[in-house]
Amino acid sequence: MSLLNVQNVSKKFGQLAALSDIHLKVEQGEIRALLGPNGAGKTTLFNLISGMFAPTTGSIHFDAVEITRQSVEQRVRTGIVRTFQITEIFKELSVYENLRIAVEADSGISLRPWLSAARKHAVRRRVEELLDATHLSGKAYREVGELAHGDQRVVEVAMALAMSPRLLLLDEPTAGMSDHETEHMVQLLRQLHQEFDLTILFVEHDMHLVFNLAERITILDNGRWLAEGTPQEIAADERVQAAYLGSNAA
């Protein structure tokens, strides 16, 4: 049984069909890319998987359990965690404080006015683990707003890791990054995928990144499933070349 199973999902907004009869299976431990031209329905599909919208028709299963009507919060508790194209962090706080907030939220203690010494120690240890895993230890006490854009995106990934994801949804994780920052993010995602046994589904427009990071690629076009396969299979698919990759597919 696939970790994520999207079955015949459609989504309408009034008379507009944003997605039509989409199917998608993502296996445990896989790194999968979701591609398509603007308006293909990639963000809408992410919204359905993460629980921001409910599908008009079809079903979504996670680890063999149907989650079609579950809330965002319920899905986070089951292990589906998402980052956004626009960075969602507290820029006026330090890196450490951002991660502390995420760790406390994941532990269900964020609203408690008082924490025991043992609980504080557990939170601090978890934050330090995340800082080390994402190579942010040297920037722990800097305000996030002072960091380079690439480092801010890494902070967002670290906050997502604090929620103990089994499936990590990344919406354009390298958007706005320099070539150097992009390469750093690719290496980090590979490392985290191995260390945390993460399943990753990501949307990205950087084709070099996609073909070097993804194990399999799913293509959407005009709200419909178009193709799926390995990077080599996708690059050779004439339908994909016509719809999205163009003459640079090879």
The C-alpha atoms of residue 113 and residue 247 are separated, in whole angstroms, by 59
Of the pLDDT bands very low, low, confident and very high (cuts 50, 70, 90), residue 107 is confident
**Higher per-residue pLDDT: 115 or 122:** 122
Q: How do residues 110-119 score in pLDDT, each as one tens digit?
A: 555 566 788 8
Q: Considering the domain boundaries, does residue 212 fall inside one? A: yes
Q: The whole model's pTM is what?
A: 0.90
Q: Considering the domain boundaries, does residue 136 fall inside one? A: no
What mean pLDDT comes out for the span 202-228?
A: 92
Highest mean predicted confidence (pLDDT) among 43-47, 204-208, 237-241: 43-47
Domain limits for position 30: 4-90+165-248
Task: Yes or no: say if 55 and 6 are a contact pair by the CB < 8 Å rule.
Answer: no
What mean pLDDT comes out for the span 35-61?
A: 94
Query: What's the distance, Cα to Cα, between the start and end of the chain in Å?
Result: 33
| Burial class of residue 111, CB neighbours in 10 A (0-12, 13-18, 19+) | exposed
CATH number for the domain spanning 188: value is 3.40.50.300
Closest by CA position to 75, among listed 98, 53, 44, 43: 53
Q: Considering the domain boundaries, does residue 115 fall inside one? A: no
Chain mean pLDDT for the chain:
91
Q: Considering the domain boundaries, does residue 116 fall inside one? A: no
The C-alpha atoms of residue 169 and residue 49 are separated, in whole angstroms, by 9
DSSP H stretches of helix in the chain:
42-50, 72-78, 95-107, 117-133, 149-162, 179-195, 207-213, 231-235, 238-240
Report helix, strand or coil for 243: helix
Instruction: List C-alpha distances in Å: 50 to 21, 155, 182.
Output: 18, 20, 25
Q: Considering the domain boundaries, does residue 127 fall inside one? A: no
Return the pLDDT at 115: 67
Q: Considering the domain boundaries, does residue 114 fall inside one? A: no
What mean pLDDT comes out for the span 137-165?
A: 95
pLDDT at position 249 over 50: no
Return the pLDDT at 113: 57
The total number of structural domains in the chain stands at 1
Q: Considering the domain boundaries, does residue 157 fall inside one? A: no
Q: Considering the domain boundaries, does residue 45 fall inside one? A: yes
Share of the chain above pLDDT 90, in %: 78
